[in-house]
Structure formats: structure tokens, C-alpha cells
Amino acid sequence: MDTGTSLIYAPREIANKMAKSMNAQFVPQVSLYMIDCDNEVPDLEFIIGGKPITVSGEDLVLQDDSGEYCFFTVSAMNFGEQDLEEVVTLDEQLAGNVVDQVSKLVGTNALPVPSGMDTWLVGDTFLRQIYSVYDYDNKRFGFATLA
């Protein structure tokens, strides 16, 4: 859980499969998958401690101010390698204001997780679904679902 991260970051293989299922195109300028704004994105369910936490498909889409571009808010962990074999990469240039706007919202995905780890990093997209408590003294955290 990362309160300083906007998106959900998944292992590259999983993020690529999710993106491929929506005919998404990877946009290297913002390190996100662009989807058709008319796509119905399915809900994403996490099971943590035996309890399901669902992020609605609507919450997994980021749309730019013009309404012309939509991005999937689950991105791949980036460890410096580019393994995009299963995903179509968008080669055309996006308008500079779209790249700037989306980059400011999502920041960077160069995360301090060792390569090869099956790790998810969940940011605001996930954290808006729960109430979280961070116990620094005891080095633990907990959460409850919102009612």
C-alpha cells in the first residue's frame, strides 16, 4: 500500500494480459495502457486476508481533460526492462498537453521493487476503497472496508 502512488502497479506479465484483453495500446510517454474510452472495464477484485476488496471498472479508467484519451490505471511494474511482447505499443505522438497532464497525475513507475518479484503496489485507486491504519511503532498496517 502506497499513499504516494496514484495507480495500481502489477507484475508486468499480469498487467500485459489485462491490457491485451481490452485491446489496449502501451503509451511509453506516460507508461500507461491507452484504452478506447467506450470500453467497459471489468471490476478488479483483490483477496487480502481472505476478504475481497473490489475496485470498480469505472475507477480503473483515467480520462484526460479533452475526453479524447482514456488510460487504464493498472500499470506494469517497471524495472528498466521492456517486455511488451503481448501488448501493442502506440508509436504515434500524443499531444504534449495530454502527456503532461497524465504524467502529473501518475508520476513515475520506476519502483524500488527487486526484479522478478511477484509484487503489486496499490495506490490511491485501491486505497479509496478502504479505510487504512498505519501503525508505525509496531511496523504493521490494517484496513477495513468502507460501509
Which domains can be identified in the chain, with CATH numbers? 8-145 (2.40.70.10)
Taking only the tens place, the pLDDT of each residue in 119-137 is: 788 888 888 888 888 888 9
What distance in Å separates the CA atoms of residue 49 and residue 21, rounded to the nearest whole number? 28
Of 24, 2, 28, 4, nearest to 15 by C-alpha is 24
Residues of the chain with pLDDT > 70, as a percent, come to 72
Q: What is the mean pLDDT of the chain?
A: 78
> What's the pLDDT score for residue 106?
56
* Choice among 38-42, 91-95, 123-127, 134-138 with the minimum mean pLDDT: 91-95
Q: With a threshold of 0.75, does the pTM exceed it?
A: no
Residues 6 or more apart whose CB falls under 8 angstroms from that of 102 comprise 30, 32, 62, 64, 69, 71
